[in-house]
Amino acid sequence: MDTRIAIIGTGMTHFGELWGVSPRQLASDAVSQAVVDAGLTKKDIQGIFVANMLSGMLGLQGHLGALFAEELGIQVPAYTVEGACASGGLALHTAMMSIASGKYDTVLVLGVEKMTDHSPEEVSSALMGAGSNEERLAGATFPGLYALLAKSHMQKFGTTERHLASVAVKNHFHASLNPKAQFQKSIPIETILKSPLVADPLKLLDCSPVTDGAAAVILQRKKTSTSSHCVEICASQIATDTLGLANRSSLLELRATRYAAHAAYIEAGITPKEIDIVELHDCFTIAEILAIEDCGFTEKGEAGKMIEKGMFTLGSAKRTVVNSSGGLKACGHPVGATGVKQIVELADQLRGRCGKRQVKHAHIGMAHNVGGSGATAVVHIVKSV
Amino acid sequence: MDTRIAIIGTGMTHFGELWGVSPRQLASDAVSQAVVDAGLTKKDIQGIFVANMLSGMLGLQGHLGALFAEELGIQVPAYTVEGACASGGLALHTAMMSIASGKYDTVLVLGVEKMTDHSPEEVSSALMGAGSNEERLAGATFPGLYALLAKSHMQKFGTTERHLASVAVKNHFHASLNPKAQFQKSIPIETILKSPLVADPLKLLDCSPVTDGAAAVILQRKKTSTSSHCVEICASQIATDTLGLANRSSLLELRATRYAAHAAYIEAGITPKEIDIVELHDCFTIAEILAIEDCGFTEKGEAGKMIEKGMFTLGSAKRTVVNSSGGLKACGHPVGATGVKQIVELADQLRGRCGKRQVKHAHIGMAHNVGGSGATAVVHIVKSV
User: Is residue A132, in this structure, part of any structural domain at all?
Assistant: no
Beta strand pairing call for A277-279 and A5-12 = unpaired
Q: Are residues A199 and A347 in the same domain?
A: yes
CB proximity list for A167: less than 8 A, separation 6 or greater: A206, A282, A285, A288, A289, A304, A307, A329
User: Is residue A131, in this structure, part of any structural domain at all?
Assistant: no
> Rounded to a whole number, what is the distance in Å from the CA of A190 to chain B's nearest CA?
37
pLDDT, one tens digit per residue, over A9-37 is 999 999 999 999 999 999 999 999 999 99
Contact A59 B59 (CB under 8 A): yes
User: Is residue B135, in this structure, part of any structural domain at all?
Assistant: no
Tell which A residues from 239 to 268 touch B, by Cβ distance under 8 Å: 239-243, 247, 256, 259
CA distances from A155 to A251, A282, A290, A301, A374 (A): 11, 21, 14, 10, 20
User: Is B107 an 8 Å CB contact of chain A?
Assistant: no
pLDDT, one tens digit per residue, over A31-59 is 999 999 999 999 999 999 999 999 998 87
CB proximity list for B155: less than 8 A, separation 6 or greater: none
Q: Which residue among A160, A193, A224 closes a domain?
A: A224
Q: Are residues A258 and A328 in the same domain?
A: yes
What is the chain A residue with the closest CA to B52?
Answer: A82
Contact B83 A78 (CB under 8 A): yes
Identify the pLDDT of residue A58: 87
Decide if A193 contacts A203 (C-beta within 8 A): yes
For residue A83, which residues of chain B lie inside 8 Å, CB to CB?
A: 63, 65-66, 78-80
* CATH code, B72: 3.40.47.10
Contact B65 A2 (CB under 8 A): no
Q: Are residues A194 and A268 in the same domain?
A: yes
Q: Are residues A216 and A249 in the same domain?
A: no
Any catalytic annotation for residue A85? yes
pLDDT, one tens digit per residue, over B162-195 is 999 999 999 999 999 999 999 999 999 999 999 9
Q: Are residues A178 and A276 in the same domain?
A: yes
User: Is B336 an 8 Å CB contact of chain A?
Assistant: no
d(CA A74, CA A46): 9
- Which residues, listed in sequence order, are joined to residue B236 by a DSSP beta bridge? B380
What is the average pLDDT value for chain A, to the nearest integer? 95
Confidence band for A97, pLDDT divided at 50, 70 and 90: very high
Contact A101 B130 (CB under 8 A): no
Identify the pLDDT of residue B318: 64
Q: Are residues B216 and B197 in the same domain?
A: no
Amino acid at B64: L
Q: Which residue among A224, A255, A278 closes a domain?
A: A224
Q: Are residues A220 and A256 in the same domain?
A: no
Identify the pLDDT of residue B51: 98
Question: What is the arithmetic mean of pLDDT over A152-177?
Answer: 98
CB proximity list for B203: less than 8 A, separation 6 or greater: B161, B165, B192, B193, B194, B195, B196, B197
User: Is residue A136, in this structure, part of any structural domain at all?
Assistant: no
Closest CA to A37 of A230, A212, A187, A195: A230
pLDDT, one tens digit per residue, over B347-357 is 999 999 999 99
Q: Tell whether omega for the bond before B209 is within 30 degrees of 0, i.e. cis.
A: no
> Rounded to a whole number, what is the distance in Å from the CA of A115 to chain B's nearest CA?
15
* Helix (H) or strand (E) segment spanning residue B257: helix B255-268
Tell which B residues from 60 to 99 touch A, by Cβ distance under 8 Å: 60-67, 69-70, 75-84, 90, 94, 96-99
Q: Are residues A92 and A146 in the same domain?
A: no
Q: Are residues B279 and B333 in the same domain?
A: yes
pLDDT, one tens digit per residue, over B319-344 is 799 999 999 999 999 999 999 999 99
Q: Which residue from B103, B126, B240 is facing A78, i.e. has the nearest CB? A: B240
Residues present in chain B in total = 385
Confidence band for B242, pLDDT divided at 50, 70 and 90: very high
Q: Are residues A162 and A247 in the same domain?
A: yes
User: Is residue B295, in this structure, part of any structural domain at all?
Assistant: yes
Confidence band for B223, pLDDT divided at 50, 70 and 90: confident
> Rounded to a whole number, what is the distance in Å from the CA of A73 to chain B's nearest CA?
9
The ipTM is 0.96
CB atoms near residue B222 (< 10 Å): 17
User: Is residue A135, in this structure, part of any structural domain at all?
Assistant: no
User: Is residue A374, in this structure, part of any structural domain at all?
Assistant: yes
The pTM score is 0.97
Beta strand pairing call for A5-12 and B364-371 = unpaired
Contact B56 A129 (CB under 8 A): yes
**Distance, CA of A17 to chain centre:** 18
The SS3 of residue A85 is strand
For residue B240, which residues of chain A lie inside 8 Å, CB to CB?
A: 65-66, 69-70, 75-78
Q: Which residue from B81, B239, B372 is facing A79, i.e. has the nearest CB? A: B81
User: Is residue B124, in this structure, part of any structural domain at all?
Assistant: no
Instruction: Please give the residue that has the higher pLDDT: either A81 or A129.
Output: A81
Question: What is the arithmetic mean of pLDDT over B222-228?
Answer: 62
Q: Are residues B92 and B188 in the same domain?
A: no
CB atoms near residue A161 (< 10 Å): 19
Contact B240 A82 (CB under 8 A): no
**Structural domains counted in chain A:** 2
Closest CA to A114 of A251, A221, A22: A22
Q: Which residue from B56, B70, B102 is facing A56, i.e. has the nearest CB? A: B56
What is the number of helices (H) and of strands (E) in chain A? 14, 12
Segments forming the whole domain that contains residue A33: 5-119+212-224
pLDDT, one tens digit per residue, over B29-55 is 999 999 999 999 999 999 999 999 999
Q: Are residues B244 and B219 in the same domain?
A: no
Q: Tell whether omega for the bond before B201 is within 30 degrees of 0, i.e. cis.
A: yes
Half-sphere exposure of B194 (CA within 13 A, CB side): 5
